[in-house]
Amino acid sequence: MKKAMAVFLSLLMLMGLLPAWAEELQAPDYVLEGYDGDGANHDWENNLFFQRMQEDTGIRFEFRQYTAEDQWQARKELIIQGEDLPDVLFKAGLTDAETLALAEAGLLLDLKPYLEEYAPDLWAILQAHPDYLAAITLPDGTIPALPGINELPANNLIWINQTWLKNLRLEVPTTAEELTEVLRAFLTGDPNRNGRVDEVPLSVLGMWDLRFLAHAFGIVENDYYVSLRAGKVTSALTSENNRAFLSWLHQLWEEELLSHQSFTTVDSLRQVTDEKAAITYGVFLSNSPLTVVPTSAMDQYVVLDPLTFEGSQRYRDLVGPLTRGTFALTKGCKEPERMVAWVNRLYTEEGSILMQVGKEGEEFFWTEEGTWEWMMDLQTVASDVLPNATLSDGGIAPGIITRDFQQKYEDAATGRLIGEMVRVQEFAETPYPQVWLSAEDAKEVAKLQAEIAPFAEKRMAEFITGDVVLDDTSWQEFGQELERRGLEDMIAIWQKYVKE
């Protein structure tokens, strides 16, 4: 009887006559599990993106969606132990260590044999960008997980108030020295024209932001305070360039050009939410002006091009366009070629757009000028479209977000902001390529980082504020303490992974 019913349902499906109640009786093809971020409001079970992908591919999922980071972290630890494996890890947020642990335990499928045939669009991207392919390939030649690629990664940028520049008839600064003079004018020239001395010339959020400003003294390093140039790994922490940078920041601090809340505040505390409030910020670092000022003031700000140091402009690209560990298939996945073909769609323009903004003619449309617009007001987009028809926020998904599509958004303000980001991206460089540390080296790096980073950041902040006087003696002691904490050992580990 069951066999006859199965045959009957199969015939109806082939004829396109499968009733809704019968479709619901079909077992899912795969169990898909992942993390969508604490702030995301997606419901994968009812999200239009997955429904549309099912219509196009015929693949049905049983969803295991996590929206709390601690719960997903705990679940990943169980997955590494092999407990109740799903077929698919999606928006997986796998760290390098987790990916290696899963691969070494034999819990993940090697995806490389499937890519050329079943993921031709992704394969073409990887062939065009050998650095991408190298970044996702383990030393044994396998590819355990696929990446998310964003051609316009969100780095902190230097936003400067162009209205203030115009009010004071100032040129856009191009060096640290010129920026200093602009900040002085911002402090004393009443550029916001409210008759009060309430201007904050430069606002940052601690050493994190300042590391994006260090390029003004030729310093472009990763979070481990190292960089790779001409085959050699170095750290600028104890360099004369860093000493000059910290001395300059101390000068700004003493002249009250650098906010004295820079090491004690967060974005939410410095953010201006009143649309009618006087704008008091001259220069700040953020990925968007909207994290600091209201929408009404966004047009006042432009991105400052990287400042010139010794005739060149370089900028810190924190992570680059590629995020590893977003998608993987476990050893229990049947017919993995079907899932590889499914995810390949997200590396096409059509699939990327479907995931990020929805379906043409329903959520957005193309204009005659070749730009795209939403089909509803922005409030509806935020409250309904983004959570219910896309997977555009939350955890990082596999696929590609192209610079070209982002630049084609019709909204003038957003288009200008994206244009600013694109311009600076031309100067950006990743300090050190993505490599796979061995489990032993990863553990040692984490240990060294816990010794080096807290001390270095605290002492550098003290140099800036003057709590510790920056002189020959204190600078020598700074270097000696970093050496004692293992800075040279850190450099040596990263040097091991530099290819000849």
Q: Over the stretch 64-100, which tens digit does the pLDDT of each residue have?
A: 999 999 999 999 999 999 999 999 999 999 999 999 9
Average pLDDT score, the chain: 91
Question: Cβ(401)–Cβ(356) under 8 Å?
Answer: yes
Stretch 215-234: mean pLDDT:
96
Instruction: Provide the pLDDT for residue 296.
Output: 86
Local confidence band at 12 (pLDDT 50, 70, 90 cut-offs) = very low
- Class of the CATH domain delimited by 156-316+418-500: alpha beta
The conformational region for residue 434 under phi > 0 = left, psi -120 to 50 = alpha, else beta, is beta
Q: Token match 């972290």: residue?
A: 73
Question: Cβ(387)–Cβ(84) under 8 Å?
Answer: no
Backbone angles phi and psi of 220, in degrees to 5:
-135, 100
Q: Which of 287, 323, 288, 316 is nearest to 151 (CA)?
A: 323
The CA distance from 73 to 393, in Å, is 19
Structure tokens at 427: 């100067």
Q: Which of 113, 76, 117 is nearest to 96 (CA)?
A: 76
Question: Cβ(304)–Cβ(82) under 8 Å?
Answer: no
Measured in whole angstroms, the distance separating CA 328 from the mean position of its chain's CA atoms is 20
Instruction: Provide the pLDDT for residue 265.
Output: 75
The CA distance from 372 to 414, in Å, is 12
Instruction: Provide the pLDDT for residue 268.
Output: 67
2-151+322-401 and 156-316+418-500, same CATH topology: yes
By DSSP bridging, strand 61-66 and strand 30-35 are parallel
Instruction: Provide the pLDDT for residue 41.
Output: 86
The CA distance from 284 to 305, in Å, is 13
Residues 6 or more apart in contact with residue 157 via CB below 8 angstroms:
212, 285, 286, 287, 303, 304, 420, 421, 424
Query: Is the pTM here over 0.75, yes or no?
Result: yes
Local confidence band at 407 (pLDDT 50, 70, 90 cut-offs) = confident
Instruction: Provide the pLDDT for residue 409.
Output: 87
- Other Cβ atoms less than 10 A from the Cβ of 283: the count is 24
Local confidence band at 126 (pLDDT 50, 70, 90 cut-offs) = very high
Which CATH architecture is the domain 2-151+322-401 placed in?
3-Layer(aba) Sandwich (3.40)
Stretch 188-213: mean pLDDT:
94
Burial of 230 (0-12, 13-18, 19+ CB in 10 A): exposed
Instruction: Indicate whether 176 pLDDT > 90.
Output: yes
Query: What are the domain boundaries of the chain?
Result: 2-151+322-401, 156-316+418-500
Instruction: Provide the pLDDT for residue 339.
Output: 98
Instruction: Provide the pLDDT for residue 16.
Output: 52
Instruction: Provide the pLDDT for residue 7.
Output: 47
Instruction: Provide the pLDDT for residue 1.
Output: 44
pLDDT tens sequence across 292-324: 898 888 889 999 999 999 999 999 988 789 999
What are the Cα distances from residue 388, in Å, to 54, 400, 450, 488?
16, 20, 41, 50
Q: Which of 49, 35, 25 is nearest to 363 (CA)?
A: 49
Structure tokens at 339: 């899932």
Stretch 423-446: mean pLDDT:
92
Local confidence band at 264 (pLDDT 50, 70, 90 cut-offs) = confident
Amino acid at 115: L
Q: Which of 316, 386, 311 is nearest to 355 (CA)?
A: 386
- Percent of the chain residues topping a pLDDT of 70: 94
The CA distance from 106 to 144, in Å, is 10
Instruction: Indicate whether 199 pLDDT > 70.
Output: yes
Local confidence band at 146 (pLDDT 50, 70, 90 cut-offs) = very high
The CA distance from 266 to 270, in Å, is 7
Q: Which residue has the higher pLDDT, 240 or 379?
A: 240
Q: Report the SS3 class of residue 115.
A: helix
Instruction: Indicate whether 21 pLDDT > 50.
Output: no
How big is the CA angle at 489 (ends 488 and 490), to the nearest 5 degrees? 90
Local confidence band at 48 (pLDDT 50, 70, 90 cut-offs) = very high
The CA distance from 435 to 287, in Å, is 26
